[in-house]
Amino acid sequence: MRNHSFDAMAIIDLENLTPWLFWLAVTGLVLSELYFALQSSRISKFTGSTESKLRSVIKDFNNGRFYKPWGTPPIIIDGGKKRLLELSDTPVLSQRAVYADMFGFKHTMNKFNHTEVNIIKSRLFGRVLNVNGPNQVARLYPVLQKRLSSFLKDELEVLDTPDSRTTVIPLASTAKVLSSRLMAVTFFGENLGSNPDLAEALLRHPSQTIACMGAFQFTPSFLMSLVHNIMTRGGREMRKIQSYLMPIIDQGVDSWDEAKGIKESTVFYDLIEQSHPNRDYWTPFTLSQSILGLWLAASHQPWVNLYHILYELCIRPEWQQIIREEVMQHGALNDFTKLNQLSLLDGFMRETARLNSLDKIAIRRKALEDYTFSDGYTKVPAGAVVCVDSYAASHNPRIYPRPETFDAGRFTNGQSHDQTNRFTDVSENYLIWGFGSLACPGRHHASLVLKLVVATLLVDYELELDAKRSRRHWMWESFSIPYNSTRLVLRRRSEPTSHWQ
Ligand code: HEM
């Protein structure tokens, strides 16, 4: 293992924001908090309440309550399956427009057309990830095991080694780098995916995009391009990624130096092949630009899930033992099909996701024109964002008795009345993947990477939180964001089953 420091890691990595932008944002937030706090108090009570308002502003900032009080809040609708499908699949309620606005894709995705409603793209991604994906990830499993092994040996950022069996690592950044490295293999294969130059760009670009998303909230639109250029050093990583991909797309998959068998199982290969007949539309530039968007989708959620799964395991040591035994009894570590079938591991991950989703709202859509839902009542004006409350769905007591309780066995012991019970299932009572035809097509890839990491760590280590630095997450708007400071203690088990040859 070697000490390794990465500077583009947290989902909103404050160190990564240019300092003056950060302080500008903080000042803007404080002023706006004050403005809204004072505006909401009656003039007659103004002087009496000013002190307490000031105190609450300070308290909010101490508690990490960063948010954008002046933004128009999204319209939250409720509803069953039919309404969720209508929300998800109505073309004028655009998924892409929401994310393009949120992440400033026009800048962060190299001039991405942020108003397009692009069914061609969704179909291509769906076919590659959702239809072909499950078989492909299974074929890549041994390569991923190898990559995980080399990461644990050579790339783990070590904070402390109190004794020869114990290693202390940063939980959030390890989860982030590790899932990026593994996901890179599923996308770009063993050689290209492990190329250190590309791997770093693949790690940094999503972090920069998310940091830009934070900064864009305080940036007048005419300054966005400048801010983006400062924060990303002229879009260096974005251009680097495209410069690796475009020649291969242009010259075809035969020009790509990757072992046979591995190459054909990657997302990149499939994207090139499936888009080939339509190369006039999918030029090397357009396809590589879309891959940047796909990579963002693939990067920013899995690591947060990994963070929470490891955190939950740390505070439930009995479940470490239960899942470890399940993995070992089935000899599942070296057989992805078996690993994927383990119900306790899968149920633990689903329960973690039920209670710890990154976003408390789901199926965000922006109305490209005025829209009235088929009930005739719910009207959405053009430009508004409409969505559902995923927190409420996953805390419905009729579906999940004692919904606040973490019950890791819920999906095997009858304490869930949802019709689905798998981590990767899509359900109206479990919206982490969204719903309808645009539900996350990459969930099988995410599940593979998460299961591989969790099972491997459990077989080799006891997991603990470093009590001194174990804060969990803070809220930013509807997002719950892991703390960077949380430390994970890996204690090598006395009888490790050495599965690495
Ligand atoms: C635990 C990890 C992940 C979670 C929780 C997650 C969740 C989501 C959610 C909530 C959506 C939006 C659905 C909607 O708006 O209706 C989405 C979309 C998407 N996700 Fe994921 N995702 C994860 C991992 C991945 C991975 C690994 C990939 C790629 C390999 C991926 C690819 C996509 C794509 C392409 C879309 C857009 C779908 C479209 O436009 O048709 N996701 N994901």
Question: Tens of pLDDT along 2-48?
Answer: 333 333 334 444 445 556 666 666 666 666 556 555 554 444 444 45
27 vs 253, residue with greater confidence? 253
121 alpha carbon – ligand 1 mean position (Å): 13
144 alpha carbon – ligand 1 mean position (Å): 21
398, pLDDT greater than 60: yes
Ligand 1 pocket test, pick from 182, 440, 451, 453 with the greatest ligand atom count within 8 Å of Cβ, gives 440
pLDDT of residue 110: 55
237: left (phi over 0), alpha (psi -120 to 50) or beta: alpha
291-315 tens-digit pLDDT:
998 999 899 899 999 999 999 999 9
168-212 tens-digit pLDDT:
999 999 999 999 999 999 999 999 999 999 999 999 999 988 888
Compute the average pLDDT of residues 467-476.
Answer: 74
pLDDT of residue 26: 61
Give, using CA atoms, the residue closest to atom 17 of ligand 1. Answer: 440
Question: How far does Cα 399 stand from its chain's mean position?
Answer: 26
pLDDT of residue 11: 41
23 alpha carbon – ligand 1 mean position (Å): 32
Ligand 1 pocket test, pick from 301, 450, 454 with the greatest ligand atom count within 8 Å of Cβ, gives 301
Q: Picking from 9-23, 354-368, 444-458, which range would have the lowest pLDDT averaged per residue?
A: 9-23
275 alpha carbon – ligand 1 mean position (Å): 20
**DSSP category for residue 74:** P
**In the chain, what percentage of residues exceed pLDDT 90?**
58
pLDDT of residue 183: 97
Alpha helices in 63-127 (DSSP H): 81-89, 95-103, 105-108, 119-125
Joined together, the tokens standing for residue 327 give: 């993995």
Give, using CA atoms, the residue closest to atom 43 of ligand 1. Answer: 440
In this prediction, residue 58 has a pLDDT band, given cuts at 50, 70 and 90, of low
CATH architecture entry for 14-492: Orthogonal Bundle (1.10)
Of 103, 102, 101, 28, the residue nearest 69 (C-alpha): 28
pLDDT of residue 272: 96
94-119 tens-digit pLDDT:
888 887 777 666 666 555 554 444 67
- The three-state secondary structure class of 209 is helix
Is 440 annotated as ligand-binding?
A: yes
| Complex prediction ipTM | 0.98
Q: Which atom of ligand 1 is nearest to the CA of 129?
A: 30
Contact 403, 394 (CB under 8 A): yes
Joined together, the tokens standing for residue 240 give: 């680097």
Please give the helix or strand (H or E) that residue 113 lies within, else none. Answer: none
451, pLDDT greater than 50: yes
Q: Which atom of ligand 1 is nearest to the CA of 125?
A: 35
Q: Which atom of ligand 1 is nearest to the CA of 187?
A: 30
134, pLDDT greater than 80: yes
111 alpha carbon – ligand 1 mean position (Å): 22
Q: Which atom of ligand 1 is nearest to the CA of 431?
A: 10
121 vs 406, residue with greater confidence? 406
- Computed over every residue of the chain, the mean pLDDT equals 84
368 alpha carbon – ligand 1 mean position (Å): 21
140 alpha carbon – ligand 1 mean position (Å): 20
E-state strands within 2-126: 75-77, 93-94
Give, using CA atoms, the residue closest to atom 2 of ligand 1. Answer: 302
Contact 394, 425 (CB under 8 A): no
Residues enclosing ligand 1, CB less than 6 A? 88, 95, 122, 125-126, 129, 294, 297-298, 301-302, 305, 362-363, 432-434, 438-443, 445-446
pLDDT of residue 271: 95
280, pLDDT greater than 80: yes
Give, using CA atoms, the residue closest to atom 27 of ligand 1. Answer: 298
What are the DSSP calls for 289-346, one per residue? Answer: HHHHHHHHHHHHTHHHHHHHHHHHHHT-HHHHHHHHHHHHHTT-TT-HHHHHH-HHHH
Compute the average pLDDT of residues 341-360.
Answer: 94
Give, using CA atoms, the residue closest to atom 4 of ligand 1. Answer: 301
Q: For residues 332 and 226, what is the distance between their CA atoms, to the nearest angstrom? A: 50
434, pLDDT greater than 90: yes
